[in-house]
Amino acid sequence: MVIADELAAPTRTTGGSGSSRLSIKFDRSVLGLLPIFLFLGYFLLYPIASIISSSIHDNKHHLTLSLYGNLFSGNYRTAFTGSFKLAFYSMIVSGIAGAIICWAVVKTNGIVRTITSSAAGVLANTGGVPLAFMFIAAFGQEGLITKLLLNVFHWDLYGGSFDLYNFWGILLVYCFFQVPLMVIIFTPALENLRVEWVEANESLGGSKSQYFRHVLIPVLLPSFISACLLLFASAFSAFATAAAMSNGSIPLVPLFIGNLVNGNVIAGQENQGDAMAMGMVIVSLFVIAAYLLLLRVTRKR
Amino acid sequence: MKRELAWLDRVIFAFAAFFFIAPLIAAAEYSVRGYGNKGHTFANYSWIIHQLGFSAALWTSLRISIITILIVLVLVVPTVVYVHLGGHRYRRLLEIVCLLPIVIPVVSLAIGAQVAMPKNLQSTSYELCFFYVVVALPYVYRSLDIGLQSVALSTLVEASQSLGADWFKTLTMVIIPAIRSSTTGALFITFALSLGEYTLAVLLHFHTFPTWATNISQENIYGSIAISVTTLGGAWILLIFVAFLPRIKSLFARKERVA
Amino acid sequence: MRKQFVFGAVAAIAVALLPAVSAQSATADTTNWATCADVASCGGISALVKAAQAEGTLNITTVLRNWADYGDAEDAYQAAFGIHINDDNPDGGSSYEIKSIQTAPAAAQPDVVDIGASHIQQAMTGSTTGGSLFAPYKVQTWNDIPSLWKDPAGYWFGNYSGQIVIGYDAKLKVHPTKIKDLTNPAFKKVVGIAGDPTGAQEALISVMAATVANGGTFDNVQKGFDFYHGLKTSGNLSGATADSTHIATGNPKVWLDYSFNALGTEQLGSQIGKTIQYVKPSDAAVQGTPYIFGINATAPHPAAARLWVEFLMSEKKGHLAKDLAGDEAANVAAGTLDGGKLFNSLMGGQNIFQLGGAVPIEIAAMKAKKLLVPSPATIFQPNPAADKLTLQQPSVAQQTTATALLTKLWPTL
């Protein structure tokens, strides 16, 4: 644990010039974090520890990593690939769409701004069956918008290959909570773009495209990528929405976990389901770590 | 960079509005359909109120939500304030820790909780409060963090202390008012989340409003859609109200000054 | 102040002692219902009814009201005996039920579970000592349960199964009458399946039915998989699960379903202004493995649990909730109505399942004893070719083989 490292490492005494002896000082400022660490340790890490424990034991209670090994082959691998693909494309689409909307949002203030930011907060938290139903009610076979497009614009949404329940349809539904999330995360970065930089660029004789290439992109890119990483983690671990939108004809990790842990057909393999869930967590943790690393880079500016 | 909205921005807003509002309107239209899809009626919204157990279930969820926001107020808010004031070096650490709940699937948390938590904690529905705090943590932290960043906290604290206020007075009369809008926003997100949370409640065998509503509307699809529209719409209206609160307050303050 | 304190203390002690006093004055019911293995040796049905009423509550789990007409069964039980039913997580699966017995706090555990046949093994070895999670109990109609679907010692027994039928929106231009009709291009994008065959038993049995329709046998469901694979390639297969929410919103419009879901879905249809119809397919008469009852060995309400299974395994013709006067429970509690008499006057659960379109497990005995109520004619569209077929049912072993095969194949659909 990081805390332990910080405590164990020799620290300078605050304010002093640093004694020549290497003394391990207890940094009292960490005590302020103790309540929340204890809270999370008990109510988050402890339950997850039991899941981890179940995922490293097989049905006969022998310690084993085979359940994790299974994730790299066969249909579990297909599920992870499917979830990866969905999260990746969702990240790209929502990232770009969200950034464009952000661009417009930062130019507003007052009432419009308040409404959009509170809307983003609510929309980013929607998911599961309510979200799926809303989309079906709007864009489904007999949806409101589908009928509108058919009757008013004579455009049969379902005449072609559009389908709310194939890969791209599910991606569309994901955008509903991904794009607001992007708006929430990325707005501060755009707001930090200083007007002085535009003026500096102009006074140095730079054109709009040069501003774009040499100022805007280098400044925004790290924040954009880190925001996208957060989108990826969020899409990858989206559980309830995937379950509500797919019947299994598109392989996704949450659906497999549901079959193993809450199903009616396969019995006694909850450990494998727990291993899959932990697999999901590990992937998301890697992505979040990358996000935080990038954030450190941008904060230095 | 021009700061007024160009026509392109308006087009962007129009598209975004369409994409996000259309599903809400479609679900709302579905929820006001009459029996047999004949005509429209608001009866689906009043239906739920007359069902047996409505007030008991709602009261249970309200109690749980209130305790949850109290825990957030007592535990999380001071910690985030602290990290901005004195514990700067741990700010990154707290940020990492508060992001963790996003990656943990709620289903796994529920399964783990059943095995790990002591049985007498599991027999009271207040167990949910603690887990709701965990689930809401990323959003609460983010809201508070942004609010605290935009306030010159150390200046305020120095000024308050130089005027002779002790720590408690500084906290309650200077810091909390300064971050009032982001705190209220964080508390309202927590409240909305606790009120509408289904997965943890059902997997831990508790009877809250969402589980009761799902149960009772098994045979009434219009009713169940009305409930989810109310939950979503209600949360949004609450958040907008909270966001406009300072505006309304300053409106009244101005009137008083004029009068 | 002191007087108030003393008075308060006396009152508190009195209140605390009151239950002890009243318990002693109640009829000395010394039966330990948690170990009762059959009702005759524990005092008879009347004693069971009284004990169940004293418990006052029944915990069940993962029961949907319009699944095999459980709604009518719940209503009758609650109205007749005055026992409140707590239904936990209606959408849950068998794994959830077993997990609940193992990990839920004592008062929240289900009293009786209704699990898929594939989970019998897990339940029988799932206790902390490696033994059964269930308590052995043989209902009054034990001999009428086929020996294939009951445990010799009484730990578990089958209750009902469903036949695979075709559901569809009547607005479709073509009405299907056999499973092979689902390949019709008129059903582009709207053919549904009840979920993932490795998670939903209904979907698994649907694939088995498709196998039979295409000339295969239960031992190898490859032909069933190929059928659905063909549906996906031709664009007929919808990605939407064939459950009530999706059917209500218009996709899917044709799907394979358990016969006991027909009634509920048709009622849903009238609610939303659609005409949903069901028909028995003429190219396959496939019955799923039955669902299985088990009484929780650590049930919080053991008497109510046993009364519930006695009720659901009863073959009698009689009253439903709407035929009751409403005062029966009070009369039994007061002693003016015999609990056993009340029990015998109710429509037995097996007949309620029959009314719901399920195949009751005791159907052969009920037909012989002329106790079976006629299956409601209005549920299924007439299809004489289908009625001529004999019902086939897979064994648990065949179901396990099929699951293993589909676990490998289904992600490649």
Report DSSP letters for C176-202, one per residue: --SGGGGG-GGGTT-EEESS-TTT-HH
Position B229 scores a pLDDT of 87
Interface-testing mutation among A116, A125, A148, A271, with chain B (most B C-beta atoms within 10 A)? A125
Which residues in chain C touch residue B211, judged by CB atoms under 8 angstroms apart? 89
Position C193 scores a pLDDT of 92
A264 vs C116: CB contact, 8 Å cut-off?
Answer: yes
Which residues in chain C touch residue B127, judged by CB atoms under 8 angstroms apart? none
Under 8 Å between Cβ of C339 and C49: yes
The percentage of chain B sitting over the pLDDT mark of 90, rounded to a whole number, equals 20
C403 vs A266: CB contact, 8 Å cut-off?
Answer: yes
Kindly state the greatest CA–CA separation across chain B: 71
Position B1 scores a pLDDT of 44
- The pLDDT tens digits for A194-231 are 666 667 777 777 777 776 677 777 778 888 888 898 89
**Does residue B250 have a pLDDT over 80?**
no
B205 vs C267: CB contact, 8 Å cut-off?
Answer: no
Position A13 scores a pLDDT of 40
H or E stretch covering C402: helix C396-409
Tokens at residue C323, please?
Answer: 């035929």
For A1, which DSSP code?
Answer: -
Least Cα separation, residue B219 to chain C (angstroms): 7
Position A1 scores a pLDDT of 38
* Higher local confidence (pLDDT), B23 or A122: B23
**Does residue A298 have a pLDDT over 50?**
yes
Count of C-beta atoms within a 10 Å radius of residue C233: 10
Least Cα separation, residue C204 to chain B (angstroms): 24
Mean pLDDT in chain A? 81
Minimum CA–CA partner of C117 in chain A:
A265
Count of C-beta atoms within a 10 Å radius of residue B138: 18
* Higher local confidence (pLDDT), A250 or C87: C87
Position C370 scores a pLDDT of 93
For C217, which DSSP code?
Answer: B
- The pLDDT tens digits for A150-193 are 888 888 877 777 788 888 889 999 999 999 989 988 887 787 77
Minimum CA–CA partner of B112 in chain C:
C103
Cα B60 from Cα C360, distance rounded (Å): 39
C94 vs A263: CB contact, 8 Å cut-off?
Answer: yes
Cα C254 from Cα C189, distance rounded (Å): 10
Query: CB pairs below 8 Å between B and C: how many?
Result: 60
* Higher local confidence (pLDDT), B31 or A212: B31
**Does residue A133 have a pLDDT over 50?**
yes
CA distances from B137 to A36, A124, C304 (A): 11, 15, 42
Position A3 scores a pLDDT of 35
Interface-testing mutation among B29, B31, B109, B219, with chain C (most C C-beta atoms within 10 A)? B219
For A80, which DSSP code?
Answer: H
Which one of A143, A169, A267 has the shortest CB-CB distance to C122? A267
What is the separation of C-alpha C202 from the centre of its chain, rounded to a whole number of angstroms?
13
Minimum CA–CA partner of B123 in chain C:
C105
* Structural domains in chain C plus CATH codes: 38-161+290-368 (3.40.190.10), 164-286+382-412 (3.40.190.10)
Tokens at residue C314, please?
Answer: 């009863």
Cα A162 from Cα A204, distance rounded (Å): 50
Question: Where along chain A do its domains lie?
Answer: 1-55, 70-299
Q: Which chains touch A (3 or more CB pairs under 8 A)?
A: B, C
Dihedral, C302, C304, C308, C311 alpha carbons, nearest 10: 120
**Does residue A18 have a pLDDT over 50?**
no
Please classify residue B5 by burial: count the beta carbons closer than 10 Å to its beta carbon, then call 0-12 exposed, 13-18 middle and 19+ buried. Answer: middle
Position A112 scores a pLDDT of 80
For B245, which DSSP code?
Answer: H
- Chain C segment 81-100 residues within 8 A of A by beta carbon are 92-96, 98-99
Tokens at residue B50, please?
Answer: 């007359």
CATH of domain B65-258: 1.10.3720.10
Position A196 scores a pLDDT of 64
Count of C-beta atoms within a 10 Å radius of residue A151: 9
- Chain B segment 15-54 residues within 8 A of C by beta carbon are 33, 35-38
**For chain A, first and last CA: distance in Å?**
29
B87 vs A107: CB contact, 8 Å cut-off?
Answer: no
**Averaged pLDDT for residues B133-150:** 87
Most confident of the following: A248-262, B177-191, C65-79: C65-79
User: Which residues in chain C show pLDDT less than 50?
Assistant: 1, 8, 14-27
Most confident of the following: A5-14, B87-96, C344-353: C344-353
Cα C332 from Cα A145, distance rounded (Å): 57
B257 confidence band (pLDDT: 50, 70, 90): low
Q: Angle, to 10 degrees, between the axis of helix B221-258 and the axis of helix A128-139?
A: 100
**Does residue A71 have a pLDDT over 70?**
yes
Cα C133 from Cα A267, distance rounded (Å): 14
SS3 B142: helix
Which residues in chain B touch residue A43, judged by CB atoms under 8 angstroms apart? 130-131, 133-134
Least Cα separation, residue B1 to chain A (angstroms): 7
Which residues in chain A touch residue B150, judged by CB atoms under 8 angstroms apart? none
Least Cα separation, residue C40 to chain B (angstroms): 34
Position C76 scores a pLDDT of 95
pTM of the entire structure? 0.86
Minimum CA–CA partner of C104 in chain B:
B114
Position C3 scores a pLDDT of 53
Under 8 Å between Cβ of A149 and B22: no
Position A230 scores a pLDDT of 86
Does C132 touch chain B if contact means CB atoms closer than 8 Å? no
Q: H helices within C214-359, ranges in order?
A: 222-233, 244-248, 262-272, 302-312, 328-334, 339-345, 349-355
* Higher local confidence (pLDDT), C143 or A238: C143
Q: Which chains touch C (3 or more CB pairs under 8 A)?
A: A, B
**Does residue B135 have a pLDDT over 70?**
yes
Domain A70-299 has CATH 2.60.40.420: no
CA distances from C18 to C6, C13, C29, C39, C51 (A): 18, 9, 18, 31, 20
Position C218 scores a pLDDT of 95
- The pLDDT tens digits for C126-166 are 888 989 999 999 999 999 999 999 999 999 999 999 999 99
- The pLDDT tens digits for B51-76 are 888 999 999 999 999 999 999 999 99
Q: Angle, to 10 degrees, between the axis of helix B7-31 and the axis of helix A74-105?
A: 120
C200 vs A264: CB contact, 8 Å cut-off?
Answer: yes
Position B258 scores a pLDDT of 60
B251 confidence band (pLDDT: 50, 70, 90): confident
C239 vs A259: CB contact, 8 Å cut-off?
Answer: no
Position B249 scores a pLDDT of 74
Which one of A50, A118, A292 has the shortest CB-CB distance to B239? A118
A4 confidence band (pLDDT: 50, 70, 90): very low
Count of C-beta atoms within a 10 Å radius of residue C210: 29
